[in-house]
Structure 1
C-alpha cells in the first residue's frame, strides 16, 4: 500500500497526542517517530501433513483482512516446510493454532514494505501437566504517573520459575509503546510500565510441570506478556481491531542474566497472546518451521477504493492508536468521540480562467507530495468550475488566480471515507498580494503560552477565536468559537482540555491590537469581527503539505454581538494559522459561480 500506509504512519504518530519535551539535548520526537512500525497480527489454524508440508491454512475473519494482505500470507505460509511431528517415533499430521505478525514500513521509493516478521504456533493450556502453568497471577496496577499521561504499551516479561513454583527472578525483556514522545520521555514511560510489571510478577506463583521431558529441570523460564491499554470504558485491554494496522514504537530488548543463550531474536516471542504463560526452550514447543519464516513484499496502491479504505485506516490510527486521554467510565466513551473524527488537508495551486469564466488550466502546487487519488479528485473538480468573467474596462479578459483549497474527510459509516472539498480562497485576479488597507490586519498578535495543565495532559488542538475589534484597533470582545483537538479521550476529558486551551487563547487575545481598514466599504463600521486561529502543538506544523491532519471537531459557539455573518460559512473552522480573517467581507479575487464540488 503506497502513500496510504505512509499516511497512516504520519497520522498515527504525527498528529495523535504527543508528550512534550523539556530537554533540548534529548533525542527529538521526530527521531523517535522514525523508529515507528505498523504491526498487524492475524490468527488462524494450520494443518501440516506427516511429511512436514502445509496441507491446509485457514485465516480467522478473512473478510476483515485486505485481499492483498490475505493473499500474501496465504502464498507465503503454504510454501513452508516443517519438521515432522513424531508420535512414538513415527511422523503424524498436526493441526495447530497460527499467529502471524506483519510489519509495515514506508519505503524510500514511496511504496510500503510489508514483511512477515514472526510466527507462533503456541497454545496455552492451563491444565497441561508437561509445562509451567499459572497458579496465581494478579495483573499489575496501572502506574498512576503512566495513567495520567496516557502511557500505553506492552511489557514482555521473562520469568525464572523455581521448582516450588515461586518466582526466582524476572526481567522486562522488551517494552513496546503505543504513544510517541522525545526519547528521554519514552525511556521514563517504558521504565514505569516495566517496574510495575516486575514488582507484581515477583508475587506470582506457578505450577511446575509434573510430566514430560522438562519436569526434571532445576528451574524453568517462561514468557508472560503484560498489556497496559486504556480503553474507552476504562478496561485494561480493549480488543484490537482485527485486520488493521496498529502503530507502535518498539523498545530495546534485554537478555535475562540467568540465561546462557541469547534468544532475543526468537521468532514469535512478540506474538504471544496476553493472559498466557509460555515456556522458553521447552522440549514440547509445538510446530517448528524449517523453511523460510519471513518474507518481504511491496504493495502499490491503485485506484480510489484503496485510497478510501486507507484513509479510514489513517483516521483510526490517528485517533485510536496514538496517545489517549482517559477519565471515568461514566463519561461518554472514547469510542464515541472517535466516531466524530475528521481529517483536513490544505492544497494550493494556480487557475487560468477564460473570457467566458471557464477553467482553461489548473496547476496543483507540489503535486508529487499529494496522493495520486486526491490529486486526480481535485483536478477533476476544479476543471468543472465556472467563474464570473473577469472584466477590465468592461470587457471580459483571460485571468490567472492563485487558489488555496481545503479538503475534508470523515467516516460516516465506519466502513468508508467521504472526501469532499469544503473551502476555496482566491487571490485577486493577476495574483496581487500587496497589503490591503480595506480590511483589518494584525498589529500585535503575540501567541499565548502553552497552559501547563494542557502540557501535562498532552493536549493539542486549534482554537478558532472570533474577535470584536474596536475602532481604535483594540479588542472589544473575544470568544472561542470552536476548539478542535488532535488527541482523543472521553467526552468529559475532551471538554476539560478544550476549556483549558480556549481560556488561554481568549485571555491572551484581549491584549492584541489590530490596524483597522482605512479604505473600502468596511472602513466606517462601528466595529469589525475577525477570526484568528490559534494552534497548540508540540511540533512545527510546517511540512504538512499534501498530508491529512486528523482532529476531533468541538462544538461551535455564537458570538454575543452581531458579526455580519448570518449563516455558517463552510471552511471557517479550517482557516490556516497565522492569519487574520475578516467576517462578512466579500472574498477577494474571481467569483466562483458553481458549487465547490
Structure 2
C-alpha cells in the first residue's frame, strides 16, 4: 500500500470551472470579514460593540458606527427582557463605485458562532476510502449543551469527490465517512459565544469535515478548485423549520467553522444588502 498524506483542510465546493481572474477586465470586487462581539440591553439597543480582527482604520470605524445603530428584538428569559451578548461575523463586499471609490455592503451576518476547541481530535480516515483514494465533505448537525460539549450528532449532507458506479455504492461510501465523522464529533467541545443574562446557552450548529487524500510529494496546487458530488440532505430529529432557513451557502463553511442555527439574536431590520 502506498503511503498517503491525510488532510482535514478547508475545501470549497464548486461544480464548474474556475474563471481566470487575469482574463477579466475592470475593477475587482473585494470581500472582507469583520469579526467581533456585540452586547445589547433589555430594550434591544446596542450597548457595546468590539471588533476583534484587524481592518483598515476607515473600514473599522465605518463598521463600528453602523453596528452600534442596530436594534434587536429584546431577548426574554423567564418572562423578563435581559442583557445579552453574542459574537458577530459580518461578511462585507466592497463594490466599485465612481472615480475608483468603493461602497461597502453587507452580504451576510452570523450571530453566536461557536469556535472549535483546539484539543478536538480529527476523525480517522476510513481505510477503504484511502485505498480507493476517495475524499468527501461531511456536514454534521451538532447539538451543544450550555458548556459547549457535543451531546448529539447527526449527518446532514455528505458529498464525495468521486463518482461511484451506482447510487447504492455512493451511499455506502457516504455512510462510511459519516460514521467516522460522528465517532470523532461525539468527543468534541466548542467555545460558546452567546450569553443571556450572563449565562451561556446551548445551541445547534452545522459543522464540516473535509477528507482529503494526497500522495506524498504531490500536494494539491494552491488555489486548485475541488469538485464534489452533493449527497442527499437529512434533517435532524431535533431540527426545526427555522433552523433550515440558513442564508449562508454551506459549501463555503471552512474546516473548524460552524453555522449556528438557533441564535437568540434577531435584528429588527434586515441588514443584508445594506450599504454602510
Q: CA deviation at 1:501?
A: 0.5
Q: 1:403 & 1:21 partners in 2: Cα distance?
A: 44
Aligned positions of 1:26-37 closer than 5 A: none
1:459-490 CA distance string (max 9 Å, x none): 20110111000123221111111111111122
Aligned match of 1:554: 231
Q: CA deviation at 1:404?
A: 8.3
Q: 1:587 & 1:548 partners in 2: Cα distance?
A: 35
Give the 3 Å change call, closer, same or farther, for CA 453–487 of structure 1 in structure 2.
same
CA RMSD of aligned residues (A): 4.5
1:403-428 CA distance string (max 9 Å, x none): 489xxxxxxxxxxxxxxxxx95569x
Q: 1:391 & 1:381 partners in 2: Cα distance?
A: 18
Give the 3 Å change call, closer, same or farther, for CA 505–375 of structure 1 in structure 2.
farther
Give the 3 Å change call, closer, same or farther, for CA 548–390 of structure 1 in structure 2.
farther
Aligned positions of 1:390-539 closer than 5 A: 391=66, 403=92, 424-425=107-108, 439-443=113-117, 444-490=119-165, 491-517=167-193, 519=195, 525=201, 527-539=202-214
Give the 3 Å change call, closer, same or farther, for CA 394–477 of structure 1 in structure 2.
closer
Q: CA deviation at 1:23?
A: 7.1
Give the 3 Å change call, closer, same or farther, for CA 392–498 of structure 1 in structure 2.
closer
Secondary structure of the structure 2 residue equivalent to 1:538: strand
Q: 1:541 & 1:584 partners in 2: Cα distance?
A: 38
Aligned positions of 1:129-528 closer than 5 A: 342-343=15-16, 371-372=21-22, 379=29, 391=66, 403=92, 424-425=107-108, 439-443=113-117, 444-490=119-165, 491-517=167-193, 519=195, 525=201, 527-528=202-203
Aligned match of 1:571: 249
Residues 29 and 93 in structure 2, CA contact (< 8 A), matched pair in contact too:
no
Aligned match of 1:22: 3
Aligned match of 2:50: none
Q: 2:91 & 2:142 partners in 1: Cα distance?
A: 27
Residues 404 and 425 in structure 1, CA contact (< 8 A), matched pair in contact too:
no
**TM-score scaled by structure 2?**
0.56
Give the 3 Å change call, closer, same or farther, for CA 521–558 of structure 1 in structure 2.
farther
Q: 1:580 & 1:507 partners in 2: Cα distance?
A: 18
Secondary structure of the structure 2 residue equivalent to 1:499: helix
Aligned match of 1:592: 272
Counting matched residue pairs gives: 198
Which has the higher relative contact order, 1 or 2, with Cα contacts under 8 A spaced 6 or more apart?
A: 2
Q: 1:487 & 1:593 partners in 2: Cα distance?
A: 36
Secondary structure of the structure 2 residue equivalent to 1:565: helix
Q: 1:557 & 1:448 partners in 2: Cα distance?
A: 21
The equivalent position to 2:260 in structure 1, one of 572, 576, 582, is 582
Residues 439 and 522 in structure 1, CA contact (< 8 A), matched pair in contact too:
no
Q: CA deviation at 1:535?
A: 0.7
Q: 1:502 & 1:514 partners in 2: Cα distance?
A: 20
The unaligned stretches of length 5 or more in structure 1 are 1-19, 25-340, 346-368, 383-387, 396-400, 406-422, 428-435
1:342-385 CA distance string (max 9 Å, x none): 2487xxxxxxxxxxxxxxxxxxxxxxx95345786973999xxx
The unaligned stretches of length 5 or more in structure 2 are 6-13, 33-62, 71-89, 95-105
Residues 439 and 516 in structure 1, CA contact (< 8 A), matched pair in contact too:
yes
Give the 3 Å change call, closer, same or farther, for CA 553–390 of structure 1 in structure 2.
farther
Q: 1:372 & 1:449 partners in 2: Cα distance?
A: 39
**TM-score scaled by structure 1?**
0.28
